[in-house]
Structure 1
Amino acid sequence: MDGEVIGFVIVWILAVISVSYCYYISSRIKAGVLRLISVVPVCGSSASLACPSRLNKTLILKIKSPNGLFPIKVAIFAVVLHMYDYKQYMSPVILLVLYVLHVYLELDIALMLVKLFVFITLGCDLEPQADEPYLATSLQDFWGRRWNLMVPAILRPAIYIPVRQFCRGLMSSDWATFLAVLATFVASGVAHEVFFFALTFEMPTGEVACFFVLHGVCTTVEVAMKRTEFVRRWRVSPTVSRLLTVGFVVVTSGWLLFPTLARSDMLEKLANEALLSIDFVKRTFYSFWW
């Protein structure tokens, strides 16, 4: 019964979104082929929502997953956006937590909405871009299985595997693995340095690249330590591992990663743009219904 009620609510929400899209966006496109193309996805999604199907059930599961945290993340993100009004009264520690929450929640929510849109319109499922990174128990777990999963999927065949295979002919397998991990992080650091320059138009200082080099060194040391007999015998509690891992990522981000964004006021600009977008949606729906 609960699933039917949730499905009913979701269908009506998607129906209102589809009607609003046709009324406000498609109607502004000149009559012809382009307008037809713009409404074809809506027609397809409307046909799938008109009857109970596996697609609808899967969509309900996607809205509710993971563990029903998506609505909570949206609520926290709304609070984070309004906290920028009190930025001048915050301590550096609180400000660092604010930046971390903002970056994580904005990326997670935006990618989730894109994933839902693609699933509704095209019926295909996109790979997740993050897997609850705050549950990471190690740096290897964080960077390899939790955060920005598309990047490891690209860098592994492009950097890690070729470097490891090349180094195996010159040194032991363990050292080849360590150098391959470090080379992967160096390449990621250079790419992120270029990305931050394109995003902020601030002259590169090397801080972003140093952040990834530092994490590459620490991840390499972590992998090497895991192979020692002492670490194999000494088991650390998952809770302690998560606190240490997330704490290290947050502290090093505040030291090397966020200063570039803070100098350019990029996070404040993103917060203002998000608030303006939310206000536009609210005013649009209010004018539509009243």
Structure 2
Amino acid sequence: MEGEFTNIIKVWVSVFASLSYCYLIARRIPKGKLRLLSLIPNFCLFFIVPLKFSSFHLRGFTALFLAWLANFKLLLFAFGQGPLSLDPPMPLIPFIFVASLPIKTKNQSPTPIDSSKDNPSPLSTLMNYAIKVILLAVVIRSYDYEQYFHPRILGFLYCCHIYFCVEITLATVAYMARLILGLELEPTFKEPYLSTSLQDFWSRRWNLMVPKILHPTVYEPTRCLATHLLGNESESVPRILAILNTFLVSGLMHELLFFYIGCWHPTWKTMFYFVLHGSCLAAEIAAKKALANRWQLHPAVSCLLVNGFLVVTVSWLLLSEFVRYLLVTHGISEFKALVGFI
């Protein structure tokens, strides 16, 4: 564990130096192909540094932060777009934090934000995450008795494990960044288990920093290209193509994350999972447009259906990879090692 802390220091010192170069030098290069060429060393570095860690938790989250999100932000930055290309430019330290972490300051949002919904009281937020930490501990402890659980119950526990682990980690990172920067940040999760549709889940509730970066880098370019090629006669076809391509890219990036986590050859089940969800989301949007709000399910029923679909597809396509490579077992041992170190 001590060696991993040394690796953390080395990795983030290199990230700090790399992003300082982007801010002090690359930013002065005219946006476009020249700036993109100047950022190639940064792209390469961010693809390599996750492999520095032996812990698959650290490899996975570092790959999400740097190999995926940071590289996509730098791609937008190369063409004068995205959260790193504000006018006037943000100071150096916020630039580094926004570039390297899954955070977004609220003043970057082009749409008004309802403070009553996005700013719950500190006490309620604390209680919310305290409950989730306790539930994660209960889930991890329950693995000691997994031989007594039905496989479907065990699959449900794995889903809870992934959700609690990802949300608590990203919320902790965002909280620390907010303390250091002194800025209000947009939430990373909005209670995804309350989703009433796939569109609600993927666009408004689950790991919001990912759709916020996929929208300008994949969705909008695909939609504009499809509109240019197909004309303006049909708005729905370019939108559906953009959705499918966005989920395709997301599937590819998740395959890359799983390569970092387990260092195994892809089986493409993860890709199929996201293609399936993208297709279902496109069908859902088309159905909503066809029905035009003439008929809809009760929110409680739709919430149960969405969560059931998510649990079934995750158990079918994603958890089999975790079980196959014993990542759950390794993950529990890493949690216990961290607790022992603390």
- TM > 0.5 between the two? yes
* 1:118-133 alignment runs, 5 A limit: 118-133=177-192
Q: Does the C-alpha gap of structure 1 residues 104 and 91 become closer, same or farther in structure 2, counting only changes over 3 Å?
A: same
- Distance in 2, Cα, partners of 1:200 & 1:179: 31
- Distance in 2, Cα, partners of 1:156 & 1:65: 31
Amino acid at match of 2:313: T
> Which one has a bigger Cα radius of gyration?
1
Query: Alignment length, in residue pairs?
Result: 223
Q: CA RMSD in A?
A: 2.1
Matched-pair contact (CA < 8 Å) for 1:64–1:70: no
Amino acid at match of 1:193: E
Match of 2:220 in 1: 161
Task: Tell me the alpha carbon deviations over residues 118-162 of structure 1, each in whole angstroms, 9 at most, x when there is no partner.
Answer: 233332344322111001110011011111111111111111111
For the residue of structure 2 that corresponds to 1:69, the secondary structure is: helix
Matched-pair contact (CA < 8 Å) for 1:137–1:238: yes
Moved beyond 4 Å, runs of 4+:
60-63
Paired residue for 1:178, among 237, 240, 249?
240
Q: Does the C-alpha gap of structure 1 residues 260 and 238 become closer, same or farther in structure 2, counting only changes over 3 Å?
A: same
Task: Tell me the alpha carbon deviations over residues 91-143 of structure 1, each in whole angstroms, 9 at most, x when there is no partner.
Answer: 11111111111011111112222222223333234432211100111001101
- Distance in 1, Cα, partners of 2:184 & 2:336: 29
Match of 2:289 in 1: 227
TM-score by length of 1: 0.72
Match of 1:114 in 2: 173
- Distance in 2, Cα, partners of 1:223 & 1:129: 24
- Distance in 1, Cα, partners of 2:144 & 2:239: 47
Structure 1 residue 244: deviation in Å? 0.5
Match of 2:250 in 1: 188
Unaligned runs of 5+ in 2: 6-118
Unaligned runs of 5+ in 1: 1-24, 26-59, 282-290
Structure 1 residue 216: deviation in Å? 0.5
TM-score by length of 2: 0.61
Match of 2:145 in 1: 86
- Distance in 2, Cα, partners of 1:61 & 1:143: 22
Amino acid at match of 1:207: K
Amino acid at match of 2:324: R
Task: Tell me the alpha carbon deviations over residues 219-239 of structure 1, each in whole angstroms, 9 at most, x when there is no partner.
Answer: 00000000013x621121111
Higher helix share: 1
Task: Tell me the alpha carbon deviations over residues 6-53 of structure 1, each in whole angstroms, 9 at most, x when there is no partner.
Answer: xxxxxxxxxxxxxxxxxxx9xxxxxxxxxxxxxxxxxxxxxxxxxxxx
Match of 1:288 in 2: none
Matched-pair contact (CA < 8 Å) for 1:137–1:241: yes
Matched-pair identity in %: 42
Match of 2:317 in 1: 256
- Distance in 2, Cα, partners of 1:218 & 1:255: 16
* 1:205-216 alignment runs, 5 A limit: 205-216=267-278
Amino acid at match of 1:151: V
Amino acid at match of 2:328: L
